[in-house]
Amino acid sequence: MEQLLLLLLFIPLVGAVITALSGKAAKTVALISSLASLVLALILVFNFVSDSSSQFVVNYPWIENLGINFHAGIDGISMITVLLTNLLIPIIILASFKHEYKNAHGFFALILFMQTGLLIVFTAMDAFLFYIGWEAALIPIYFICAIWGGRDRIRVNMKFFVYTVGGSLFMLLGIIYLYLQNPAHNFDIQAFYNLQLDSAQQGWVFWAFFIAFAIKMPIFPFHTWQPDTYTEAPAPGTMLLAGIMLKMGIYGVIRWILPVVPFGVQEWGTTALILSIIGIVYASIIAFKQRNAKRLVAYSSIAHVGLIAAGIFALNTQGLQGAMVQMLSHGINVVGLFFILDIISSRLKTNTIEELGGIAKVAPKLAIVFAILVFGTIALPGTNGFIGEFLLLMGVYQYNIWAAAIAGLTIIFGAVYMLRMYQGIMLGKTNDLTIGFKDINGTEKITLYILCALVIALGVYPKPILSLSEASVQHLLEQVNQKLISVK
Amino acid sequence: MIIDLVWLVPLIPLLGFLITGLGRNVLSKNLIGFIGSGVIFLSFVLSVAIFFALGADANKSHEVFLFDWISAGRLHIPLSFLVDPLSSMMLLIITGVGFLIHVYSAGYMHDDDGFGKFFSYLNLFIFFMLLLVLGSNYIVMFIGWEGVGLCSYLLIGFWFTNDSYASAAKKAFVMNRIGDLGFLIGVFLIFTTFGSVEFSKIFPQAANMMPGHSSIVLITLCLFIGACGKSAQIPLFTWLPDAMAGPTPVSALIHAATMVTAGVYMIARSNVLFDLAPVIQQLIAIIGLATALLGALIALTQTDIKKVLAYSTVSQLGYMFLGLGVGAYDGAFFHVITHAFFKALLFLGAGSVIHAMHHAQDMRHMGGLKKKLPVTFITMLIGTLAIAGLPPFSGFFSKDEILAHVYEHNKLMWVIGVFTAFLTAFYMFRMLFLTFYGTYRGTHHAEEKIHESPKSMTIPLIVLAVLSAIGGVLGIPESLGGHHWLSKWLSPVILHHAEAADHSTEYMLMGITVAGVLVSIFIAYAKYVKKAHVPVPDEAQRSLLGTLSYNKFYVDEVYDAIIRKPLDAFSTFFYKILDTKVIDGIVNGLGWSTNEASKGLRLVQSGNVGFYILMMVVGIVSMLLYTYLSI
């Protein structure tokens, strides 16, 4: 079985190389490669035993004298993120089909290269490997945004790059510190779990990791790179960033903070939870009056991710399981929304809400899929968003009722800004600009129908997803609690 | 057993939604109308069968399990349905009244381009409404709860090219969401208190708890906030009048007969919990009474025929909450039923008038329509008599039952409640007289085109008129020689019954109400028929109370000033100052200072090899020192 995991990591890498060499056929090659990855991910899901163990494990010595191993495996938590990555990459590639990018082979090769980086992050069981994946995922997206982005791309990307690399350096320090504390002198995740650090040490490590992850998600107040970057990036770049890449931060918290430094979490978790909740309200309120729809969705993403982070730091099954489902759901919904905004801006050359309006009249199909994605985003029961937000809020509620009441404002505020955006773009009278709008067609239709089907399927029957990660989440919580209790 | 097939009741409308929705551009209007109404009729037939099966069964509570929906840790939420006297009664109302309104819509919406879309939305609404009442736990109820909110949003904004309609739709959804947050938090509290969200696990546990238990008080408060949103109670009522932007059948079905009574249903369903929280019951009674009075006061001066009915709905919902608050759950539920009949009738009648008037809704331009629209007039007269509460029409029995319980509870509340009943009779007859009596006040050209509505519209009116007239038989009190069938039917669900007044007191109360109502009608007659008074134009001078009433007590304006404007200001401040200047400023400042520092550091990299070696030695020595010292 271990070949499967190697295959998982290498298909996109090989796909990237072939794509880079294939000139005009690049996007088709990339799509085939990503579909192969998706099939493989589904094979993994079907062969996955729903317990807490790491499966399909590979472990090769890599740099032996430093104790670095190519050690990777998939447990329930990884499975969700692997599925998310391999599900969204083909969708994002399909969503890019209508564009004629310059040097398309480079563009699509970078996407696939990034996929490998992401998959390493989500499967690594060796901290060094994790860090390699972390940086390997950043480089391609940097180029995607810097080369194919909007007018202000250079300045904005510089900030994004420096910000995230700065964050990663803290994490690197944390990893090296843990390595030095590890008597076995290796980067093995299990060895990190078994370390006996005191609370002060754990506090430092907590912040070293948390800053890196908080920037990636982003959590208030580490978020100011995000709206600019999302707005300036080319649509596929935005989808990659919001749909998949930010989940690296969420995954990182679950995998590398909670079980490694439980005392750090005990001491600083409340601070992190409060920051997350501030982010929900703050970003939602900012989203109210955004004129640019892309920027509005960017801020809404901060709010939604804030709720996921709050659910994680609540440290209970509902919160963590909610985070797992919501990672997937948020990925689906945000990719769909950014794709729709891309369709609109590539036809009308604007995402400014006031300039639009009445598109529903001329594009009824778009009106329906847009509405489904909007209602998924604002967590209407029966859509994917509800499962996640319900469990997350319930998790936060068990932590503190007031935290839940404030975090719960997202269900009101979300409706306000999302419906305002929908109304501004789709409803009302058509104007001179929107009157000639052509409804969705071809690959646009396929992509959006798939996304909408996922929104509803996950909302109606979330059990398969929930049961994938349940055992691993339970195990993780037991691990954390045992450590906390054993010292007391 | 037929009860086990209850899942078909919501499933059939869902299929109807899919067929009419996907086939909206392919199928003919007649076929869509037939399928759309037909599926509801099938559900109705099934509901009737279930109702009788339940009546014949000794076991009055059946759970029908479908599948596990959400589970995480201790939390298990199955998708399962509960068939009991309360839900089976609701099934009849939803599918029965729903069917009539579907038939009516086939006529009313016939010339609309969105005919197929309209029917698919209506079917979807029925599906969610059925889910709401059938859910065996609070979460399945919540799917329906928010689902009907979605349909309400879609249908209020049905003519979405009108921006103010689209805004009304958004307002309805957002205000409902405020309540929904309360509902959700209430559900979380229920889960932590009882370890389950299933009715069958919660209520038996609650029956053993002491009244005034703090968790229960908080739970019921949260649930009540949820009910306020959905059932348009103070302070969350302002969306309902705006919701009249939707097509009139929608106002009848969603914003009068069914969806807005969901809050009453939910509280009646949770009666075991509310009985344990007298403080919250008192709050519900006060809010209900205040809403009833406020709605009636506003309705007094409205000139749009649908607005009058909208505020009257707010007011009648207030009565239902008043009933819930004084513990008369069956009385409140009785009023849900009779109100569904007469208010659906009144809205559909108003729709018939609007249809005849070519979409004019201002009563100042109506008048004298009695002759031209005889069926509409007669049926609306019956509806008006029913809502005014004159015997033997249905509204008399249900309203009187509530007021009798209020009298036992608190005399002052009774006085206000009865006064509101007088106002109700007045504004309803004002509406009737302005529309149908006197002389026609519109243009001559328009007058010639006025005609009675087609059969598909008048037949539902007639059926509803019959139900409004005789609906009272469901709950004839013992004082009038009845046995109150409804109360007995609901007794397995509603455990505790409020004390009723003795018969002589009841006669006296009835006498006072009926006399007052007759006087109110007479005053309205004298003013609007005898003196042929027509409400003054918008810009005319009004008395203080008239101005307040006409401008809806400026509630929207107040909300705008204390909630929306500050939030907008925060939004601008957060974005333009805090985010861009302060937080990002600090970030950029860090970047800048790093840059400056690196300029300084660059001097160190002079290219002087000797300097490098020196620094290397310093580095090695300090590392050695560090290791030495730390050992």
pLDDT tens, position by position, B50-95: 999 999 988 889 999 999 999 888 899 999 999 999 999 999 999 9
Residues B480-519 as b/e (b if ≥16 CB within 10 A, e otherwise) read beeebebbebbeebbeeebebbeeeebeebbebbbebbee
**pLDDT digits 0-9 by tens, B550-584:** 888 889 898 989 888 999 899 998 998 888 888 88
Instruction: Determine the pLDDT at residue B481.
Output: 81
- Residue A408: list chain B partners with CB under 8 A: 181, 184-185
Query: A428: which chain B residues are within 8 Å (Cβ-Cβ)?
Result: 160-163, 166
Contact A390 B70 (CB under 8 A): yes
Helix axes A225-232, A153-181, angle to 10 degrees: 130
Chain A nearest C-alpha distance from B511 (Å)? 47
B135 close contact with A: CB closer than 8 A? no
Give chain B positions within 8 Å (CB) of A163.
Answer: 587
Question: How close B206 comes to chain A (CA, Å)?
Answer: 21
Report the residue from A387, A405, A429 with minimal CB separation from B70.
A387
* CA–CA gap between residue B386 and residue B379 (Å, rounded): 11
Query: pLDDT confidence of B630, banded at 50, 70, 90?
Result: low
Confidence of residue B607 (pLDDT cuts 50, 70, 90): low
Q: Is the previous residue joined to A234 through a cis bond, with omega within 30 degrees of 0?
A: no
DSSP class of residue B364? G
d(CA B73, CA B70): 10
Per-residue pLDDT of A333-343, as tens digits, reads: 999 999 999 99
Q: Which residues of chain A have pLDDT under 50?
A: none
Is B177 an 8 Å CB contact of chain A?
Answer: yes
d(CA A354, CA B121): 28
Cβ-nearest to A397 among B170, B188, B572: B188
pLDDT tens figures, A460-479: 999 999 999 999 999 999 99
CB-count exposure of residue B82 (10 Å: 0-12, 13-18, 19+)? buried
Residue A439's closest CA among A375, A344, A352, A355? A344
Using alpha carbons only, give the angle B240, B244, B250 rounded to the nearest 5 degrees: 100
The string of pLDDT tens digits covering residues A78-113 is 999 999 999 999 999 999 988 888 888 999 999 999
Average pLDDT over residues B326-340: 94
C-alpha R_g of chain B: 30
Which of A221, A429, A462 is facing B70, going by the closest CB pair? A462
Quickly list DSSP for A169-192.
Answer: HHHHHHHHHHHHH-TT-S-BHHHH
The tokens for A90 are 């083909």
For B164, nearest residue in chain A (alpha carbons): A428
Q: How far is B395 from chain A (nearest CA, A)?
A: 35
Q: What is the DSSP string of B531-543?
A: S---PPPTTS---
At B513, is the pLDDT very low, low, confident or very high (cuts 50, 70, 90)? very high
State how far the Cα of A482 lies from the Cα of A478, in Å rounded to an integer.
6
Cβ <8 Å between B69 and A463: yes
* Angstrom distance (rounded) from CA B248 to CA B453: 14
User: Number of folded domains in chain A?
Assistant: 1
Residues 202 through 261 of chain B touching chain A, CB cutoff 8 Å? none
Q: Are B171 and B242 in contact (CB under 8 A)?
A: yes
Quick: pLDDT tens for B14-55.
999 999 999 998 899 999 999 999 999 999 999 999 999 999
* Beta pairing class for B75-83 and B62-72: antiparallel
Give yes or no for B57 touching A (CB within 8 A). Answer: no
Q: Is the pLDDT of residue B292 over 70?
A: yes
DSSP three-state, residue B304: strand
Structure tokens given for B298: 């506003």
How many Å apart are CA B349 and CA A175, to the nearest integer? 74
Which chain A residues are within 8 Å of B142, Cβ to Cβ? Answer: 381
Q: Find the domain containing A102 and state its range.
A: 2-487
- Residue A60's CB is within 10 A of a number of other CB atoms, namely 10
Record: contact B571-A322, CB cut-off 8 A: no
Provide the 3-class DSSP secondary structure of residue B277: coil
What pLDDT is attached to residue B117?
A: 93
Q: Could you tell me if B174 lies within 8 Å of chain A, comparing CB atoms? A: yes
CB A210 within 8 A of CB A272: yes
Chain A: residue whose CA lies nearest to B171: A416
* Residue in A321, A382, A462 nearest the CB of B143: A382
B73, A430: Cβ pair inside 8 Å? Answer: no
Q: In the numeric block, which tokens belong to residue A28? A: 């088709």
Chain B residue with CA closest to A295: the answer is B575
